[in-house]
Amino acid sequence: MKTRVTLHRDFVISEIDDRLYGAFLEHMGRAIYGGIFEPGHPQADEQGFRRDVLALVRELAPPVVRYPGGNFVSSYNWEDGIGPWEVRPVRLDLAWHSRESNQVGIHEFADWCEQAGTEMMLAVNLGSRDLDAARNFIEYVNHPGGSAWSDERIRNGRRDPWNVRLWCLGNEMDGPWQIGRKSADEYGHLAHETGKALRAFDRNIELVACGSSNPDMASYPQWEATVLDHCYETVDYISLHMYFTNHEDRLGDYLALAEKLDRYIVSIGGVIDYMRAKKRTRHQVHICFDEWNVWYHSVEQDRRILQGSDWPFAPPILEDVYNVEDALLIGCVLNTFIRRSDRVRIACIAQLVNVIAPIMTETGGSVWRQTLFYPLLFASRHGRGRALDVRVDGPVYQTRELEEVPCLDVAAVHDEAGERVTLFIVNRDPQQALELDVALEGFDHATLREHQCLIHPHMKAVNTACTPDHVKPQPGEGLRVEEGRLRGQVAPLSYHMVGVR
């Protein structure tokens, strides 16, 4: 079936913020302990960080990593993670019913980020604590010295401040599951007051207020309107979260969830515009999509693990094993973020290692890439530059929740410095190959430089410790570029990264 696509060099949606390809690491499950940090592992460095994990993180190259939570942050005392390891307290983490040893704290995480080549994005606890703990934390992290908390940091071995730029004001404060949940009015007020205090400390930081935990929350989108009414001019971003599920095993509906994501972003964009007009301000708030991923494979198993009355240390929870379907959806989600990069400046895949993650480890053993590692890798490597407006005219299919959805999902990014246009293409059609005809306007002399394809005969195929490369990209076939047009067939249920120069 024919699909006509048009893009133009000068029809630009937005300059993409590199932080669109960020990630998230929470103190939960085996993300930190047994994930990035495992002293005694054959691959551990002198600080206990796994070199093999770091190598895969560097490959993905997330420009920013959000930390330390998630739900965890809402009952976390950041002071527990500083000072000599021997005297750090063991705490009971109420969010995940686990034991927290505090062997990793801000110093260790900062060192890890330095090694990973990424920036820290820190969350403050606005669940069980308030602005006082937050202002002490930023003083500890960002003040050069000569004050109580900054001198404490220096005594703990770090002379220079870390100068962390991006701060999250709590996490999912709309969720009944959140420790210290607030109403929208309570939270909006607290976010404004805390933001004000942090800004008084440093005018140049960027602040993120909590939006909805997902678009099915009863309080959505009134939550955003109320919160922003309190703090629109104090914050730079409103955060959104969304996790995708396929419990009913309906592939067409599942792959269409990227459209639901799109409507979520558009609606919150509308709330932002409304509030900007109401406040009569030039200040522009953007969206920080600081948690997103597929999360459903592990739900049953986690129920069993967390049922016990004990408080396990680093239990193997949220260890979703991802298949080919999940990788295709992730491709569509990333395309949505690229197409909405005028609204969404920052996004963090949740999470990075072991917990609903592209990178998996065995404690004491190997590390491998899950299926969804690959669309992330390609987007992070080739999705930096300007998002181009792509028009698609082709077949659609019916879904249960969203009615008609296009079979072909496309995003395009122009990297002017590298003189390259990259197209990210997903064919959601389960049966039909699509006959592609892309007009590359303004790129008349372009030639095909790279074509990688993710396709597999079994949609439920996964990678494991024993078969780490069962699903992996391969050089694509069947596409050609001539006279400013990209033409050829894209197979059913396949993902493509096509580089043209």
Binding interface with ligand AHR (CB under 6 A):
26, 69-71, 171-172, 291, 350-351
Phi, psi of 7 (to 5 degrees): -135, 160
Q: CA-CA-CA-CA torsion for 298, 35, 165, 119, nearest 10 degrees?
A: -120
Instruction: CB nearer to ligand AHR: give 136 or 354.
Output: 354
- Tokens 């330095």 sit on residue: 114
Residue 465: helix, strand or coil by DSSP? coil
Catalytic-role residue among 38, 100, 139, 172: 172
- Rounded to whole angstroms, the Cα distance separating 365 from 357 reads 17
- Rounded to whole angstroms, the Cα distance separating 341 from 332 reads 14
Instruction: CB nearer to ligand AHR: give 175 or 394.
Output: 175
Least Å distance, CB 62 to ligand AHR, is 15
Nearest Cα neighbor of 73 from 167, 176, 179 is: 179
Task: Give 46's contacts (C-beta < 8 A, 6+ positions apart).
Answer: none
Instruction: CB nearer to ligand AHR: give 34 or 69.
Output: 69
Residue 11: helix, strand or coil by DSSP? coil
Instruction: CB nearer to ligand AHR: give 115 or 219.
Output: 219
Q: Which residue is nearest to ligand AHR (CB)?
A: 70
Instruction: CB nearer to ligand AHR: give 68 or 488.
Output: 68
What would the two tokens of residue 475 be? 């050089």
Task: Give 222's contacts (C-beta < 8 A, 6+ positions apart).
Answer: 184
Task: Give 491's contacts (C-beta < 8 A, 6+ positions apart).
Answer: 427, 433, 453, 455, 478
Least Å distance, CB 155 to ligand AHR, is 32
- Rounded to whole angstroms, the Cα distance separating 262 from 376 reads 18
- Rounded to whole angstroms, the Cα distance separating 91 from 104 reads 13
What would the two tokens of residue 248 be? 């009913």
- Rounded to whole angstroms, the Cα distance separating 189 from 224 reads 13
What's the one-letter identity of residue 122? L
Instruction: CB nearer to ligand AHR: give 72 or 140.
Output: 72
Least Å distance, CB 169 to ligand AHR, is 14
Nearest Cα neighbor of 1 from 423, 393, 466, 447 is: 393
Instruction: CB nearer to ligand AHR: give 11 or 243.
Output: 243
Catalytic-role residue among 26, 38, 108, 291: 291
Instruction: CB nearer to ligand AHR: give 95 or 131.
Output: 95
Instruction: CB nearer to ligand AHR: give 63 or 69.
Output: 69
Least Å distance, CB 176 to ligand AHR, is 11
435 assigned to active site: no
β-strand partners of 282:
none
β-strand partners of 360:
368
What would the two tokens of residue 464 be? 């494991």
Least Å distance, CB 77 to ligand AHR, is 17
Task: Give 146's contacts (C-beta < 8 A, 6+ positions apart).
Answer: none
- Tokens 């220096």 sit on residue: 154
Least Å distance, CB 41 to ligand AHR, is 24
- Tokens 């960027």 sit on residue: 206
Least Å distance, CB 285 to ligand AHR, is 20
Least Å distance, CB 290 to ligand AHR, is 9
First vs last C-alpha separation in the chain: 27
Least Å distance, CB 308 to ligand AHR, is 20
- Rounded to whole angstroms, the Cα distance separating 51 from 129 reads 35
Q: What angle do CA 415, 417, 422 make, to 5 degrees?
A: 20
Active site residues: 172, 291
